[in-house]
Structure 1
């Protein structure tokens, strides 16, 4: 008596045409006609035939190795696989175990001619699968050009309009997204953001609490939140590992449409977040270093424009750690090779900390920085004051339209169509909430635009104290808050202060490293108003580091 098993599968696209039940019924009838004993069934539901990573298929192959059956019955060969190479692997694996494959529909014998036709059929199955995928992609690209939803869950803060299939803002979730962007720009960690969201009573879509493992990074880099419709941005998951390692497709394959969907955050906020994310990238040397390198990602080579990375290697007979910063292009080949000198970590870090304290955080220079800060804030205030009347006017118009529609609803008699009026009312209510939020942000900006001298003094004092803490990682974050970039040349070091984007101050120093002494002369350039006396900004720094 020959023992047989049957294998069934459907993909989501083929569910109605070939259901599991229909396949199993045909397979059972075939077994009866052949006189086989059906000992077990295997079925993979809603699984593609383009890869072998299917639980029931893998179980079938495992049982075949244990000699539990002699024949595998399938409705059609493409149920086992639509990939020629995978199908050949399955045939080879089962053949080693003495197991034959028989198809209910495609009756191929074991003759050379039968094997040849079987290979033709496998090729046709693969062509059909790939051609279907290509046609589906055509349809989704057409939808993308119209900024329509192409399946899957919409991003947090959005929902899909069932009539237009376009994205619209979900006002219950949108505040979560705005908080994530705002707090990230305020240098909050993911854990702190999660804790704040939980304290505010917000939940994830699954009803769970937020955690540091929540997908904050994916939210922060998604251009949809600034109103840019994107499609086909990332590669599909590997069918075997189920991962794509955040791999992006080529730019010419990605659909990008600015203004193709409503924005939850402004483009300015989104771009600032991207800059901050870039500054957080850690170099290979930094990742392996036990002691954090304070200036990682800030040092830029004057000669080639490359980033300096941390370098830690043993030196001398005692293998003492020799810690430096060196240009990432020093080991490049050809024209890209850079000959910029490496810098000892301790020397450059001590120098930069000295510059921060003696120039940026010097109490004697507060008046100048007050002037810079208030000028920048005044410029922003002027723009907000221009925006306020426009938003107020639009909010009044929307409110009036809502009131008019409510009045229309009260006058409609029974049997009259309400759908169009109700739909318009929903849209206006959504617009009103968005405008109210926009106005609230503008009012906050205008209200908080004056900085007094006392608060600046306190802030500078706090920052000076934090620079002397033993927590090196915390000191590094403070430095990144105060400095935008440090340009390193053979004889010069140029520090660009930006105080978290509030203003830009450029300091250029001419440096020579002699033994363990550092001499630096300050070039003031356009720093009009800076107190340059010996106490506030030393014109000559000299000392053992």
Structure 2
């Protein structure tokens, strides 16, 4: 029995040794069972509320490859605390014919998944409710409800019994001076972009010692975020303005605005940094710049919204990694250089010239016949290796199925020859069960990866040319543009003397799928080729 171990602890406040303790207990259990441990997987200081963890993802990947037949963990909540995730993990392991065993629950079954998954989800909700209750009590005493904003320092002090006293803050005079300067500059007519640019040029560190950006300053007035909207600067502590939810697809937290009736507001005059008159004038200027919806409900900015261009969001600066954005009607420039002033790349490029160059690169550089032939040769060798490994397993199962059929025939013939059926009942039952397992394994076995057509590079080039023609006309233009975007991962603009060199990174699996002109699962993200290419990209002009 080949076994894999998994261990996890949740936060930086927990002990690093927790991982080793979990693994030690699991190793002891595996030794008692006579299992062979082939690998161990860990996630350190990561919440169990999501499966987007490197350790658990690697475990799932190896399980689907057949590296082990049992996963051993201390308890189910180490694997996941989310009901949907633990059910999905259980389903994936069952598909891979891998058992899940924990020291607490033993062999994990559908019953465990249902009951324990619900209990773990309730535990997380109860923990969140208790945490919020404690924070609310602290805020109602005029103390911090968590987090530290620019302009303040945490006061570290202890009670007589040695327990830390939490939530006290004091004004950081150096940062408070920067806050007052931002308010004064904004009132004087400077834009948030200009203020951020000047602060970065002077080397003034921003919140969390990061660079200043326009959004750091102007933020969102309705949500109370941004330097210009932080009411703590006028001695007013507002808590519970926002609530945070975890996106089930990305695992990232997203904020939602709570009704104003749920806000907790406390006056803390000792923390005031900005005088009321300056605050009111700044709020007045903000209101003059806001475009309110019209009587029909339409936002006045909608008519001025720029159209989404062919490679919008994919163009990056080769110096700082920031995005290239539209800085005039047809000109693209580095957003970091323009908004923050911390990137030295001042070269701009016309949008139409960039799109023409990228389309030309897709036709002439990506999928070059000589380079693609070399890739085909390497790919074929890898496919043959995988086929030989998988073929050995398939042949073994086929031979075993033939042997089981022969054994069943012999047992039935023995009954016909007069042997009492009661003596052969258990034997026949075991053979029938094994036969059903083998038929299921053979039916669900992965097909060998497809071999690539040697002329696929030329087919790709012809289809790109046809797609380019579709962009010229209105019919099918939107569909063609969306398909182009799936082929390109990133367009990087690298300064080269007084010009910009263009580097195109393409999704090779998507290009092969496009050239094949069909939705072939084996070429997709979950297919064999998709897994072989999951970490690869093709770069125009570099091979």
Q: TM-score, normalised by structure 2?
A: 0.48
**Structure of larger gyration radius:** 1
